[in-house]
Structure 1
Amino acid sequence: MLPRFEIVARHRPVALVAAPDTFPLRAPFGAVEAGLTGAAAELRLAGPDGTRLAVRLEDGRASLRVGEQAVRSRRYGRVATPPLRLGLTLTGSHLAVLTLEGDAWVVRGRIDLREAGGPDTRDPEWLAGLTWEASGGVDDVRAGAFGQLGLRDIRLVSHADGSPYRTAEGDVLLTATSAGPGFFDTAHTSVWSLSPAGELAWRSDLFFERPDRPGVYGDHATHLVRDGERWLVATSTWSDFPARKADRVPGALGITLAESAADLTRGQHVLPTRRLDLPADGPSVGMWDPHLVRVGGTDGTGGWLVGYVSARRFFDFHPVLAAGPTLDHLALRGAATDRRATEGTTLLRVGEDWKVLASDGRDNRRTVRGRFPVFDTALREVGTLAAPYPTNIPWPTVVPPDPGVPGDAWRLVTFDGHRYGGRLAGYGTHGDVVVMREVPRQSRSA
């Protein structure tokens, strides 16, 4: 079966600007940051329609401006000590002001532009004409595509047969949700490399067009699959999922599929999608966390297994597995209906058999709480991963040893619920990347 794992490293690659000099933006995820040399400074985004979006720091108070409307947080806008840098972020429809205090960015104000009479930030024409400006006591200005305050939903980039996609240098690639300065609608999908030595590095960002509405979205919780000469990208439509419970509409949260011949492992990409129709085991208000594997023949004639999550209501959710000859003809294979807070459904080949891994969150009943269960393809539990269980609901992303590297070890890459950016940023900023490695055999027997 699988080895026992121990934590060997943690990463927190925070960056307001992931890719500098990438204006105009291809998606509504951008940032401007600058060093501070005076008492007052301002950073601005200027739209082709005359829109002005700005953040300002003056006399120790941070504020936002949408056109002529000024917005300031009474609770979080005051900066106690002089910050080192000022930051503006546009993430989806959210504008935020941040200050770098010591070695950490703190969110000092945030506004949803949809509620403030702002522009349609997802409009490609508006994005194509967007420029940035900086004034006041600033230097060392950087502007470009937004990076992340944290990473979650770590998923191994794989070939269609489930094996890891490795670079010429032996790195494995991972998709992740790059957390923004707020809830799920401030995040987007990114691609990272993890070297054999454990170094984590950003490589690309993926954005999506929806089949049922215009605009560019930062959908996330994504699986990137190399299938012959093309990429398949299965993702969850979290980008406009509302923070307020009263605004959540059953059926709006689902899974889309994109195909591309471009190199999605580098740069910035906007991908058209179609809805991936998946069977439910009963009433379902939403589905997410897709994982795709082609099984059967090695010549591309085999069928597909698709793992995902289905929710009876927000948030009461469990793992589901579907199977079929194509991704357009899938039938229910199994569902772990005894769970109510289990996600991260992941398919893994162990020997000659396929197993389904998942993550039992702490809102489950006591006997299936805070652990990584292992299921067969009928979604019957057959064991658990022997691994530390971080906070939140970390996904069990297992990396098999590289057969081309003698003595290579099993790894498990996941995340935790550690937030960043201060109290205003809130829950959506989690987490740290947690890297585990198999415990050596002599240690296991000690």
Structure 2
Amino acid sequence: MLPSFEIAARHRPVALVAATDALPLRAPFAAVEAAVSGGAAAELALAGADGTRLAVRLEDGRTSLRVRTGGSEHVLRSRRHGRVGAPAARLGLTLTGSHLAVLTEESGGWVVRGRIDLREVDGPDTRDPGWLAGLRPDASGVGEVRAGSFGQLGLRDIRLVSHADGSPYRVGRDVLLTATSAGPGFFDTAHTSVWALSPAGGIAWRSDLFFERPDRPGVYGDHATHLVRDGGRWLVATSTWSDFPARKADRVPGALGVTVAESTDDLTRGQHVLASRRLDLPTDGPSVGIWDPHLARTADGWLVGYVSARRFFDFHPLLAAGPSLDHLALRGAATDRRATEGTTLLRVGEDWRVLASDGRDNVRAVRGRYPVFDTAMTEVGTLSAPYPTNIPWPTVIPPDPDVPGDGWRLVTFDGTRYGGRLAGYGTHGDVVVMSEADRGEG
């Protein structure tokens, strides 16, 4: 039996620059920020060895984006969002995937004032490792410049880093989590990060993970990731969200899937680019996309939980099993759902359970709750815990057997946005830490 949970802490670890020692870049996720003063024009840039210059500018209270490539320069301003609403303390530039954005830090935090997909202006191939290695920051009219890899405007898709048997991977008394680090836009501005959760409920950034695809060149910020310690290696299962388009008309059935990577490096520190291969997962019928992988190994082989969509967005959780990750068969599917994701495997005593999150677009009977399934994907109960906005994943952390009296915890996220109206939906959310209802925090 699982306990009831109550909210113990909330976090919003916003940072444009995650690591200042990340140059030269290995992935198209970079940021430059600096202090500004009234009056003088301020400019930040990323300059390429090929003459490319990606710049943002603040002058007379208005922001602009300036893209110089192939001997010509494009100047872009947002008429609706480009004027600063309050005196700006800092100016920011972010490169996230193929998107360049300008941000200003005002009284309420960072606000996205302009954004452009560089593919729309015949910009550089931002995923090319050679081009990335030549990028250097530049600045004028500013002070206190910081530059490095991009951090996050919010965190979502939080998963427990685990051993292959499903137990938490601990560093001292901390447990590690993977998360999707939200960028200043839709899903294609985000990437995977690794965090430490302390016994007191605090979180701290540790690493970023990026991916090479098996079917195309370049480096991608794929996310919705599960990091698994399997003996002397890491397995990294992730969802190919990094180039998923915001426009419905551009979505191609089958393009969104799951990959898996392997590494013997310490993926819990620094930045890493991982070569991945496609993980073929069975479905219960026609599917336009698969995501949210979660892996565990039992005495009989592997269990893999995931989500399949009949169409965008009508999706439900599934479970597959097999002797290896390359030989999986469908075990069950919750076909009565149409907005349920975050499929999560949890061992409770001698039994395996599958947890998920029933979004509010489901029918009334299965809406806004955490269902618990057996391995045939038959619902056997629900998790008793607050259900924040959006579709929060039920990441349950068992007690540490080496700490007497340690309790169960649950970590999830909500749909709170950040960065203003232009940034939009993709910036969610806050991190929500819960503890056993009768134990208090920790």
TM-score normalized by structure 1? Answer: 0.97
Question: What are the ranges of 5 or more consecutive residues in structure 1 without an aligned counterpart?
Answer: 297-301
Which residue of the partner structure matches residue 55 of structure 1? 56
The correspondence for 1:119, drawn from 117, 120, 124, is: 124
Spell out, residue by residue over 1:232-259, the C-alpha distance to the aligned partner (whole angstroms, 9 max, x if none): 0000000000000000000000000000
Counterpart secondary structure, 2:165: coil
- Percent of aligned positions with the same letter in both sequences? 84
Distance 1:242 1:390 in 2: 26
The correspondence for 1:404, drawn from 389, 402, 405, is: 402
Partner letter of residue 252 of structure 1?
Answer: A
Which residue of the partner structure matches residue 309 of structure 1? 307
Aligned-pair CA distance for 1:439 = 1.2
Partner letter of residue 56 of structure 1?
Answer: R
Which residue of the partner structure matches residue 80 of structure 2? 75
Distance 1:214 1:422 in 2: 33
Question: What are the ranges of 5 or more consecutive residues in structure 2 without an aligned counterpart?
Answer: none
Counterpart secondary structure, 1:232: strand
Which residue of the partner structure matches residue 37 of structure 1? 37
Which residue of the partner structure matches residue 14 of structure 2? 14
Distance 1:412 1:11 in 2: 14
Aligned-pair CA distance for 1:80 = 2.4
Distance 2:371 2:188 in 1: 29
Spell out, residue by residue over 1:408-446, the C-alpha distance to the aligned partner (whole angstroms, 9 max, x if none): 01000000000000000000000000000011179xxxx
Partner letter of residue 436 of structure 2?
Answer: E
Partner letter of residue 356 of structure 1?
Answer: V
Partner letter of residue 162 of structure 1?
Answer: G
Distance 1:99 1:369 in 2: 38
Matches within 5 A, 1:350-389: 350-389=348-387
Distance 1:151 1:349 in 2: 25
Spell out, residue by residue over 1:348-369, the C-alpha distance to the aligned partner (whole angstroms, 9 max, x if none): 0011100000000000000000
Which residue of the partner structure matches residue 320 of structure 2? 322
Aligned-pair CA distance for 1:37 = 2.5
Distance 1:264 1:103 in 2: 34
Which residue of the partner structure matches residue 139 of structure 2? 134
Aligned-pair CA distance for 1:324 = 0.0
Spell out, residue by residue over 1:78-118, the C-alpha distance to the aligned partner (whole angstroms, 9 max, x if none): 01221000000000000000000024100000000011111
Q: Find out whether 1:233 has 2:236 as its counterpart.
A: yes
TM-score normalized by structure 2? Answer: 0.98
Distance 1:202 1:354 in 2: 30
Partner letter of residue 104 of structure 1?
Answer: G
How much is the aligned-residue C-alpha RMSD, in angstroms? 0.9
Distance 2:220 2:401 in 1: 38
Which shows bigger deviation, 95-104 or 214-223?
95-104
Q: Find out whether 1:428 has 2:431 as its counterpart.
A: no
Spell out, residue by residue over 1:126-177, the C-alpha distance to the aligned partner (whole angstroms, 9 max, x if none): 00111110001x111000000000000000000000000000x210000000
Partner letter of residue 435 of structure 1?
Answer: V
* Count of residues in Structure 1 that have an aligned counterpart in Structure 2: 435
Partner letter of residue 307 of structure 2?
Answer: V
Which residue of the partner structure matches residue 155 of structure 2? 151
Partner letter of residue 78 of structure 2?
Answer: S
Distance 1:286 1:22 in 2: 33
Aligned-pair CA distance for 1:23 = 1.6
Contact 2:333 2:377 in 1 (8 A): yes
Counterpart secondary structure, 1:126: helix
Spell out, residue by residue over 1:209-233, the C-alpha distance to the aligned partner (whole angstroms, 9 max, x if none): 0000000000000000000000000
Spell out, residue by residue over 1:292-339, the C-alpha distance to the aligned partner (whole angstroms, 9 max, x if none): 00001xxxxx40000000000000000000000000000000000000
Which residue of the partner structure matches residue 269 of structure 2? 266
Distance 1:65 1:441 in 2: 54
Contact 2:97 2:221 in 1 (8 A): yes
Contact 2:24 2:134 in 1 (8 A): yes
Which residue of the partner structure matches residue 184 of structure 1? 187
Cα distance 1:270–1:235, how it changes in 2: closer, same or farther (>3 A)? same
Partner letter of residue 161 of structure 2?
Answer: V
Distance 2:434 2:421 in 1: 29
Partner letter of residue 82 of structure 2?
Answer: G
Distance 1:218 1:306 in 2: 22
Which residue of the partner structure matches residue 334 of structure 1? 332
Which residue of the partner structure matches residue 288 of structure 2? 285
Aligned-pair CA distance for 1:199 = 1.4
Distance 2:49 2:314 in 1: 43
Counterpart secondary structure, 1:114: helix
Spell out, residue by residue over 1:22-50, the C-alpha distance to the aligned partner (whole angstroms, 9 max, x if none): 22111000000000124210001111211
Which shows bigger deviation, 30-39 or 330-339?
30-39
Which residue of the partner structure matches residue 66 of structure 1? 67
Counterpart secondary structure, 1:37: coil
Distance 2:277 2:49 in 1: 30
